[in-house]
Amino acid sequence: MTLDEPTRAFLERATATPPLPPGSLPLKEFRAAVESLRPSTFDRIELAEVRDLTCPGPGATTVSARFYRPEAGTSAPLVVWAHGGQWVRTTVDLLDTFFRHVAHRSGCAVLAVDYEHAPESRFPAQIEQIYAAALWAQEQNGQLDCDTGRLAIAGDSSGANLAAAVALLARERGRLQFQHQLLLVPLLDTLFDSASWRELGQDYLLSVEQLTWALRNYAPGVDRRHPLLSPLHAEDLSALPPTTIIVGEFDPLRDDGLAYARRLEADGVAVKTIDVESLLHHAMVIPKALPQGRVAVEAAADALANCW
């Protein structure tokens, strides 16, 4: 494997200074640090409609979300998206241009769920919040005016972990019907022991130590093989929606994504796998700094455009 030159140069700069130990920053500062990514995200695309809304959540609670409609006067498919951020940080607002880009290129409306962060809320609260938002979207399309007969669940990184869990929960409960599942650089096994973790888990921007710290905030004391925490360990993956999985050549999560694809296929689920060359884990949210991130996001958008 060989990194392309822009990615190699970025990685060299990024690793020139040793990272702070996980948890050494106060959580407020750790969350604020991601704001530095804004200049490297996608350019802003104007869409027919972008608005914040509140969805009914689990029980008597509510869930915040942002709705993106690419074109007026069309009943577009709807994608419910769970963003990444190690369960503890990142917001829909930070990723606003990312979601605009996905909606514009795919032609799908996007409902980006601003689920609550850990540790203020913990497993499985975030899964239930995303499930509730998706169920609300499916059962009343008058407010969104989308074709909820074409409904997908999607996510990136730890958001893909949540999305995969929501798909499993939807299958179990039988009320929520997804026609597609899209998992972008997904975190699917919290054991962190695959070959790609051993190969790439120290010098490629994502470490076992960092995710172990995040996991302690999100799901303390939970069995790491719990299927809603590590979907790769679910006993049965049959009857899940057709799935697209996008992995990165230089992402420690790569092999878990590929293993999930093999398990889905073995259980009779239609799967398309895309392996993006020279892709680092965080690249999809900073495409101006890492051009392969744009390749990955556009592959995701194209998959959504063509999955119906």
Tell me the chain's radius of gyration from C-alpha atoms: 18
Q: How far is CA 290 from CA 42, 47, 58, 257, 261, in A?
A: 11, 25, 38, 21, 26
The rounded distance, in Å, linking the Cα atoms of 113 and 91 is 9
Residue 302 to residue 208: CA distance in whole angstroms: 31
Please count the other Cβ atoms lying within 10 Å of the Cβ belonging to residue 32. 12
Q: Nearest Cα to 67, choosing from 57, 78, 75, 56?
A: 78
H or E, element range at 198: helix 195-200
Indicate if 121 belongs to the active site. Answer: no
Q: Where are the beta strands (DSSP E) in 76-190?
A: 77-82, 109-114, 147-156, 180-184
Answer for the pair 101, 297: CB distance below 8 angstroms, yes or no. Answer: yes
Tell me the residue type at 87. Answer: W
Among residues 64, 106, 157, 230, the one annotated as catalytic is 157
Residue closest to 97 by CA, chosen among 290, 302, 296, 286: 286
3-state secondary structure of 160: helix
Task: Let me know how many helices (H) and strands (E) the chain has, helices first.
Answer: 9, 8
259: how many CB neighbours lie within 10 A of its CB?
16
Catalytic annotation, residues: 157
